[in-house]
Structure 1
């Protein structure tokens, strides 16, 4: 192997490093044809894209299972893990804003086999999630149209629109995500203010609710799995932790779009710095509010309509006599489902494109249009939304649901690999003398944040199907854990075939094919008008 000399970024000493082997050439710059067309406001609002059905609908089940305090504890814990994962990928992305994102980082700084396994795992997990969101959007339409025979028509329309948004170009995708994110954030703000007014007695009934539901029926519910009350309440919180983790997944979209973003280092750093406050305001205050407004034993929480009727926000407003909310909330949830489907299609196609340009997927998938759109990867990924028609057929619906549940741990594996890769990244950068504090984004709590995120995501993966051990059902056990051997087969199969190895700190390549700050960042234009100044604060 050749030796190369690199100057230390933190001092004048010279550090000797070992270059990568020739067959692991990481200079894909000449093959990468995507263009930077996403603006700052697009990237800032991508974080809001993760706020969806998990908060609007799933929070009701969280409240029912664990109670108001139990749900709040579960969401707070998972919020810290999501924050740790985003900080980890954010720091790596601001160092290397290139196509392929964290699967490429895993191949580059941990093991090429890990990059292959993580990339394909993330691809199929997101690709299968597209028809899931389409099916959810169709169910939401039944809130207004009770005729179930129209389900196939709605499925076709939504499928075509989601695919068209991605095929028209990244600018159209960015604008659509910005539009839907504004809708969702506006809805959440309205709900939080309205909830506070109702809780303080400002609703039509005039009843002051306060924290009475924290007293009766109580702050934490039981899971009814064991006789010991304390242990049973702990298991209830455990159940909600898994659900809450699904609600937070997808925040990494902001970094996956790095290679198609203007001024990626500055804009991604800004988005990551603001995510803590967005988690605190939108998720934590949202969960706290529903715990104040609705009792966990409210029979309406047992509804399984899939529409706004089962939302705890709607239940609270209907109880308080505010009748206009259901339609508003259902429209917001529909926007969330549509936006999530489009985002999952974007993520999966870009990861597939990244796999292709580094030789871990068929070469034809690296084909782009003259405007830098990875058309081949998008077209292949657009086949997956057609699976949503399986949900229309009664016979295929069970198979569809099974297939969906099988890949649900894919997001947890993605988070785990992000934090694991950052741990290697931090170790390699330190060993080679780079000053991490000089990076455009650096969190002073690293690498401890990555340890925290890695540990908890590993726990999430293995406790995902814990309920099967109390009342064993082979279907629950299989769908909860089958993705683990699939991931292991991808990793060890690639490792065996190509004889890859884990990179040592002085073998990691932090330079090749990575654009400099001068190449990616343009001088920031300071806001002048009042509207521009408001936009600078919000976005």
Structure 2
């Protein structure tokens, strides 16, 4: 690598900041370069108006519990019923390893380049612009459809206490939830960070409480003093048979749970989007990524292990779909043990999770649209920000999709909404696999330009094996997820479309952008590893001393 890197110019012939000061020297026109020596940079931060107002503790709590929601608290029962206690546990262990492998990939890229656009920008920058365009719009479509579904889930959770629940009541609840979730986002990123800090704390308390209470009941500490132990692992058994008898049925129950488990982790990769708005992002992201292993182990795997001890997979209540705490396998387990007070507490905590998920989805998709707009992949108007750095037009556009929640008030329209949501369920695996491929290009790009990964703020010593792991399993699950429609007598056209429509949509978006824009696919040594990447000095932040003992405790636990 040369001693100095050519400066990058924007359209106004002004020199943009050079690359990361930790890996290349700061240069200017005196270094001997002219505008004729370089291309105009498309990754300019000239119009990037977002501001770093999120605290480190916000980032840590969002990373710890940001995506914990109804998929885990209410949906875990279905995994027990399909795979049995060990089948569901193994499914969550494997899915957790896939997710963690993906996160160390996206984390290394985000720490290196903590800028707007998140992983979508990394894909278009270090893999191919056509693929970045396709992933960006697919995920935006997915999130915009999930946005109203979280509002619907939250309104149904409220019905747990409403003895006269009706469609008019539900409409009122949904309006209140929409206004609340939107207001948090429109007040600014600091308000969003504070709200997520509180909601994440509630979710963490719920998980820890459920694990402790579950172990107490399992060991005979419930009102009935029945010591369960590993009884249900022996009778009816550790694995459930799904569709087929014998080992094949047990394997298919486990494999089917990989999709259910993935739904519980959905959106976890969006932590990369907060990198552009958090103070001291390289330090905050590094801490967050390193702690995610324990988050996955404790909050997902241990929780599934405990619930698998408490309820036999033959309990028909596990397949309930009330949408309230009655669907929770923990409520079923505690009711079997004679504990009656917990359902309302669990329902209240899960309600905050659903509300938090709606607010978090709005934040993520608005920043995603903003990033796409900055780089010309979406209408330019979506990149407009207020003086305080709020992407106001993107937020207004995303808010419109809340209105789809009212479709649930119509029986036919509700079916369409659920079908559309399921249609995009596998976009997560497509995204995760693509992140893995992008990381391999990123890693080779650093090597080709003489940059030692070990000198960066964060690197994973196991790479590239985590990238290979997430690519392998994402491919397997995408190809075989629709196996049920091919079993004898089970063909269903709509289920087939739901299982595989994501692949042709992704291909059409990629091919369409490539045919229209004809972007050049860069060789490894041509990858842009420098422009618009801030120096440590530009993003460093000195935390103010704590004002009181309470702040000291919070800083110790969450920064």
Is the shorter-chain TM-score for this pair beyond 0.5, marking a shared fold? yes
State the alpha-carbon separation in 2 of the partners of residues 9 and 155 from structure 1: 49
State the alpha-carbon separation in 2 of the partners of residues 410 and 501 from structure 1: 25
Name the SS for the 2:66 alignment partner. Answer: helix
Q: Which range moved further: 526-535 or 437-446?
A: 526-535
Give the alignment partner of residue 491 of structure 1, picking from 510, 514, 520.
510
State the alpha-carbon separation in 1 of the partners of residues 37 and 504 from structure 2: 29
Say whether 1:25 aligns with 2:44. no
Q: Kindly state the Cα deviation for residue 27 of structure 1 after the two structures are TM-superposed.
A: 3.2
Q: Which range moved further: 68-77 or 246-255?
A: 246-255
Query: Could you tell me which residue of structure 2 aligns to residue 43 of structure 1?
Result: 59
Give the alignment partner of residue 392 of structure 2, picking from 365, 369, 375.
375
The Cα offsets for residues 272-315 of structure 1, whole Å up to 9 and x where unpaired, read as 00000011111111001001111111122132211111111111
Name the SS for the 1:252 alignment partner. Answer: helix
Contact 1:74–1:240 (Cα < 8 Å) also in 2: yes
| RMSD across aligned positions (CA) | 2.2
**11 and 511 in structure 1: CA distance in 2 versus 1, 3 angstrom threshold:** closer
Q: Which range moved further: 198-207 or 143-152?
A: 143-152
Query: Could you tell me which residue of structure 2 aligns to residue 133 of structure 1?
Result: 150
Contact 1:163–1:382 (Cα < 8 Å) also in 2: yes
Say whether 1:210 aligns with 2:229. yes
Say whether 1:148 aligns with 2:166. yes
The Cα offsets for residues 340-368 of structure 1, whole Å up to 9 and x where unpaired, read as 11111111110100010111111111111
Say whether 1:469 aligns with 2:486. yes
Q: Kindly state the Cα deviation for residue 467 of structure 1 after the two structures are TM-superposed.
A: 1.3
Name the SS for the 1:382 alignment partner. Answer: helix
Query: Could you tell me which residue of structure 1 aligns to residue 14 of structure 2?
Result: none
Query: Could you tell me which residue of structure 2 aligns to residue 329 of structure 1?
Result: 346
Give the alignment partner of residue 258 of structure 2, picking from 234, 241, 263.
241
**10 and 173 in structure 1: CA distance in 2 versus 1, 3 angstrom threshold:** closer
Q: Kindly state the Cα deviation for residue 528 of structure 1 after the two structures are TM-superposed.
A: 9.1
Query: Could you tell me which residue of structure 2 aligns to residue 390 of structure 1?
Result: 407
Query: Could you tell me which residue of structure 1 aligns to residue 92 of structure 2?
Result: 75
Contact 2:5–2:24 (Cα < 8 Å) also in 1: no
State the alpha-carbon separation in 1 of the partners of residues 494 and 376 from structure 2: 36
Say whether 1:96 aligns with 2:93. no
Contact 1:26–1:108 (Cα < 8 Å) also in 2: no
Aligned pair count reads 529
Query: Could you tell me which residue of structure 2 aligns to residue 15 of structure 1?
Result: none
Q: Kindly state the Cα deviation for residue 530 of structure 1 after the two structures are TM-superposed.
A: 5.2
**524 and 434 in structure 1: CA distance in 2 versus 1, 3 angstrom threshold:** farther
Give the alignment partner of residue 122 of structure 1, picking from 139, 154, 174.
139
Query: Could you tell me which residue of structure 1 aligns to residue 29 of structure 2?
Result: none
State the alpha-carbon separation in 2 of the partners of residues 11 and 489 from structure 1: 39
Query: Could you tell me which residue of structure 2 aligns to residue 422 of structure 1?
Result: 439
Contact 2:118–2:270 (Cα < 8 Å) also in 1: no
State the alpha-carbon separation in 2 of the partners of residues 427 and 526 from structure 1: 41
1:105-116 to 2 correspondence within 5 Å? Answer: 105-116=122-133
State the alpha-carbon separation in 2 of the partners of residues 10 and 358 from structure 1: 25
**525 and 9 in structure 1: CA distance in 2 versus 1, 3 angstrom threshold:** closer
The Cα offsets for residues 63-92 of structure 1, whole Å up to 9 and x where unpaired, read as 011000000000000000110111111100
Contact 1:9–1:434 (Cα < 8 Å) also in 2: no
Q: Kindly state the Cα deviation for residue 265 of structure 1 after the two structures are TM-superposed.
A: 0.7
State the alpha-carbon separation in 2 of the partners of residues 416 and 127 from structure 1: 21
State the alpha-carbon separation in 1 of the partners of residues 319 and 43 from structure 2: 54
State the alpha-carbon separation in 2 of the partners of residues 21 and 253 from structure 1: 36
State the alpha-carbon separation in 1 of the partners of residues 175 and 122 from structure 2: 37
Q: Kindly state the Cα deviation for residue 5 of structure 1 after the two structures are TM-superposed.
A: 4.9
Query: Could you tell me which residue of structure 1 aligns to residue 178 of structure 2?
Result: 159
Q: Kindly state the Cα deviation for residue 501 of structure 1 after the two structures are TM-superposed.
A: 3.2
Query: Could you tell me which residue of structure 1 aligns to residue 201 of structure 2?
Result: 182
Give the alignment partner of residue 348 of structure 1, picking from 365, 368, 390.
365
Contact 2:50–2:385 (Cα < 8 Å) also in 1: yes
Q: Kindly state the Cα deviation for residue 188 of structure 1 after the two structures are TM-superposed.
A: 0.9
Give the alignment partner of residue 289 of structure 1, picking from 306, 313, 319.
306
**420 and 496 in structure 1: CA distance in 2 versus 1, 3 angstrom threshold:** same
Query: Could you tell me which residue of structure 2 aligns to residue 172 of structure 1?
Result: 191
Contact 1:86–1:272 (Cα < 8 Å) also in 2: yes
The Cα offsets for residues 217-257 of structure 1, whole Å up to 9 and x where unpaired, read as 00000002x34x11111001011111101111211232111
Give the alignment partner of residue 69 of structure 2, picking from 49, 52, 56.
52
State the alpha-carbon separation in 2 of the partners of residues 529 and 466 from structure 1: 58
Give the alignment partner of residue 296 of structure 2, picking from 276, 279, 295.
279
Query: Could you tell me which residue of structure 2 aligns to residue 534 of structure 1?
Result: 553
State the alpha-carbon separation in 2 of the partners of residues 320 and 474 from structure 1: 43
**20 and 179 in structure 1: CA distance in 2 versus 1, 3 angstrom threshold:** farther
Q: Could you tell me which runs of 5 or more consecutive residues in structure 2 were left unpaired when the two chains were aligned.
A: 7-18, 26-34
Contact 2:53–2:190 (Cα < 8 Å) also in 1: yes
Give the alignment partner of residue 411 of structure 1, picking from 414, 428, 436.
428
State the alpha-carbon separation in 1 of the partners of residues 266 and 239 from structure 2: 25
Q: Kindly state the Cα deviation for residue 200 of structure 1 after the two structures are TM-superposed.
A: 0.9
**11 and 152 in structure 1: CA distance in 2 versus 1, 3 angstrom threshold:** closer
Query: Could you tell me which residue of structure 2 aligns to residue 358 of structure 1?
Result: 375
Name the SS for the 1:417 alignment partner. Answer: helix
